[in-house]
Chain A
Amino acid sequence: MSSQPNAQRQVYLDHSATTPVRPEVLAAMLPYFAGKFGNASSVHRWGYAAREAINDAREKVASLIEASPNEIIFTSGGTEADNLAIRGIAHARKSKGNHLITSQIEHHAVLHTFEALQKEGFEVTFVPCDKYGLIDPDDVRRAIRKDTILVSIMHGQNEVGTVEPIKQIGEIAREHGVLFHTDAVQSAGKIPIDVKDMNVDLLTLSSHKIYGPKGVGALYVRRGVRLTPQVTGGAHERMRRAGTENVPGIIGFGEASRLAKAELPEEAERLSKLRDKLIEGLLREIPDVALNGHPVLRLPHNVNVSVKYLEGESILLNLDRMGVAASSGSACTSGSLEPSHVLLAMGLSHETAHGSLRFSLGMSNTEEDVDYVLEILPPIVGKLRAMSPLGPGSGL
């Protein structure tokens, strides 16, 4: 964007958008670009080497969510995995029913897929959330009909960090014989996931949110669940997703999953502490700031606040100049003239949604980073508020 003349520090606080590939992951990937370049379908040593490495990665990814390796389908990312789950089940179970359930606060990869299915003739119920972004399992129960074939509710909300009651929703779906999909892109590697314990039939993962490479993800499909492939053209991934495997990407994803699982308990605790320090500091240091999302049922790395009387992009530009990367649910950053559908579903006014800021913490962040944000943000807000026609002192 602009030059950063005043940037003393570089503080990346946008890990929910994407993360860097960590060095161990990069090292694991590198041999598979040129040396071990084989096609995993080939019948020769180059092919065997790739196949073996993919099998190994599949075990590691499966282990992150307590699944079996043959329940993992590698895809080109979270978006494709969401599409495969939702379209794949809708198409496979069309003869059993025409009704689908999801929520109003899903990622666009889920939401827009359901909207596309509506155009195909499916009926979709979008269950609401409360002011904390929490979905009530009873709302899901009430939405289920005789002809419901799929429920899809996300695990960790990507904007406001609220962790949804997946286990209960899965139990309700199972009681009614309805398949249950959850998008766990933001929660995987951050909080423990056990697909069996959580009554999940399908679950979406993405590599680049857990220090793996971009362009690779996975769909967990419980053994015995049939879905209609959305990408056809070969026998790859047990006939469920055609295309020569992205071997280096899959290897990187595997290594990232292994490390995420090994480090999860400690890292979750460390990030939660940083998160709470940042939240408390923001609420203390800046007047008229409100926390978005659930105060307790919250991803360890997510901080989301609304800075009243301000618009998010104007804050982001100032933060960027000071070396800090964050994001906003403001319409002005969405390119669509509408603020975040998640914040609106939570009942925020357009004005408050415009002033939302998301800081998402990660491996590289320290207490000093949090202190730095708490030092530079209050004067930025002060300067912008002096410019705003809204708020106290504006006479409006």
Chain B
Amino acid sequence: MYNEKVMDHFFNPRNVGELENPDGVGQVGNPVCGDMMRITLRIKDNRIEDIKFRTFGCGAAIATSSMVTELVKGLTLEEALEVSNKQVAESLGGLPPQKLHCSNLAAEAVHAAIQDYYKKQGIDIEIKTEEHEHQEHGH
């Protein structure tokens, strides 16, 4: 069902836990499936210095969480905002089709955490949600 890379991230997840006094917190949930992910960030000089996750969900949800933390650690905030859900799934070597919806969570949670950081600085940013299947947004 899952490939070896997904299983590796599932059984040996990177960056599990919660940072104390984080600079940004992102919590997203997929109400359809009932999964949930929480990301905490430490930001220094506009870069993600440290990142931790907690996830309630299936193997794919946990593996994508772990993968995204690896992908964005050390990136500038602008770079991290460019990391997409699709990229996370691709970095894992692909996910079973019925599990693609869980991979929506991972990048989204990171973006939400960055948004939270900016908000604390008094800056409002807009998050792109073009790949999100479950959300409609109109202007």
Nearest-CB residue, chain B, relative to A386: B16
CB distance from B1 to the nearest CB of A (A): 5
* Known contacts A2-B2, A332-B35; A389 and B59 CB within 8 A of each other: no
Task: Give chain B residues whose Cβ lies under 8 Å from the Cβ of A337.
Answer: 32-33, 101
**A351 at interface, CB cutoff 8 A:** yes
Q: Which of A137-145, A280-288, A310-318 contacts B (4 or more CB under 8 A)?
A: A310-318
* Centre residue among A309, A314, A321, A386 by max chain B CB count within 10 A: A314
Task: Give chain A residues whose Cβ lies under 8 Å from the Cβ of B102.
Answer: 332
**A390 at interface, CB cutoff 8 A:** yes
Nearest-CB residue, chain B, relative to A309: B56
Contact with B along A189-232 (1 / 0, CB 8 A): 00000000000000000000000000000000000000000000
- Per the bound structure, the CA–CA distance linking A2 and B58 in Å amounts to 15
Contact assessment for B2 and A1 in the assembled complex, using a CB-CB cutoff below 8 Å: yes
CB distance from B28 to the nearest CB of A (A): 10
Select which of A311, A339, A386 is within 8 A of B56 by beta carbon: A311
Contact with A along B32-69 (1 / 0, CB 8 A): 11111110000000000000001111110110000000
* Known contacts A2-B2, A314-B57; A389 and B36 CB within 8 A of each other: yes
Q: Which of B3-11, B78-86, B111-119, B122-130 contacts A (4 or more CB under 8 A)?
A: B3-11
Contact with B along A360-396 (1 / 0, CB 8 A): 0000000000000000000000000011111000110
Nearest-CB residue, chain B, relative to A1: B1
Task: Give chain A residues whose Cβ lies under 8 Å from the Cβ of B58.
Answer: 311, 313-314, 330, 332-333
Contact assessment for B54 and A339 in the assembled complex, using a CB-CB cutoff below 8 Å: no
Residues of A in contact (CB 8 Å), total 27
Select which of A2, A330, A332, A350 is within 8 A of B4 by beta carbon: A2
Chain B interface secondary structure, helix, strand, loop or mixed? mixed
Give chain B interface residues in 72-101, CB to chain A under 8 Å. 98, 101
Select which of A321, A333, A351 is within 8 A of B34 by beta carbon: A351
Contact with B along A319-341 (1 / 0, CB 8 A): 00100000000111101010100
Contact assessment for A310 and B59 in the assembled complex, using a CB-CB cutoff below 8 Å: no
Contact assessment for A311 and B57 in the assembled complex, using a CB-CB cutoff below 8 Å: yes
Task: Give chain B residues whose Cβ lies under 8 Å from the Cβ of A99.
Answer: none
Contact assessment for A317 and B59 in the assembled complex, using a CB-CB cutoff below 8 Å: yes
- Per the bound structure, the CA–CA distance linking A242 and B71 in Å amounts to 60
Task: Give chain B residues whose Cβ lies under 8 Å from the Cβ of A2.
Answer: 2, 4, 7
- Per the bound structure, the CA–CA distance linking A386 and B91 in Å amounts to 25
* Known contacts A2-B4, A311-B56, A337-B101; A387 and B34 CB within 8 A of each other: no
CB distance from B8 to the nearest CB of A (A): 9
Task: Give chain A residues whose Cβ lies under 8 Å from the Cβ of B18.
Answer: 395
**A107 at interface, CB cutoff 8 A:** no
**B27 at interface, CB cutoff 8 A:** yes
CB distance from B121 to the nearest CB of A (A): 23
* Centre residue among B16, B33, B35, B38 by max chain A CB count within 10 A: B33
CB distance from A278 to the nearest CB of B (A): 24
**A354 at interface, CB cutoff 8 A:** yes
* Known contacts A1-B1, A337-B33; A314 and B59 CB within 8 A of each other: yes
Task: Give chain A residues whose Cβ lies under 8 Å from the Cβ of B2.
Answer: 1-2, 317
Task: Give chain A residues whose Cβ lies under 8 Å from the Cβ of B10.
Answer: 314, 317
CB distance from B102 to the nearest CB of A (A): 8
Contact assessment for B7 and A387 in the assembled complex, using a CB-CB cutoff below 8 Å: no
- Per the bound structure, the CA–CA distance linking A330 and B54 in Å amounts to 19
Task: Give chain B residues whose Cβ lies under 8 Å from the Cβ of A395.
Answer: 18
Select which of B17, B34, B61 is within 8 A of A350 by beta carbon: B34
- Per the bound structure, the CA–CA distance linking A321 and B8 in Å amounts to 12
Can you pick out 26 interface pairs between chain A and chain B where the beta carbons lie within 8 Å of each other?
A1-B2, A2-B4, A311-B34, A311-B57, A311-B58, A314-B59, A317-B7, A321-B11, A331-B34, A332-B33, A332-B57, A332-B58, A332-B61, A332-B102, A337-B33, A339-B34, A350-B34, A386-B17, A387-B13, A387-B54, A387-B55, A389-B38, A389-B54, A389-B56, A394-B54, A395-B18
A-binding residues in B (CB < 8 A): 1-2, 4, 7, 10-11, 13, 16-18, 27, 32-38, 54-59, 61-62, 98, 101-102
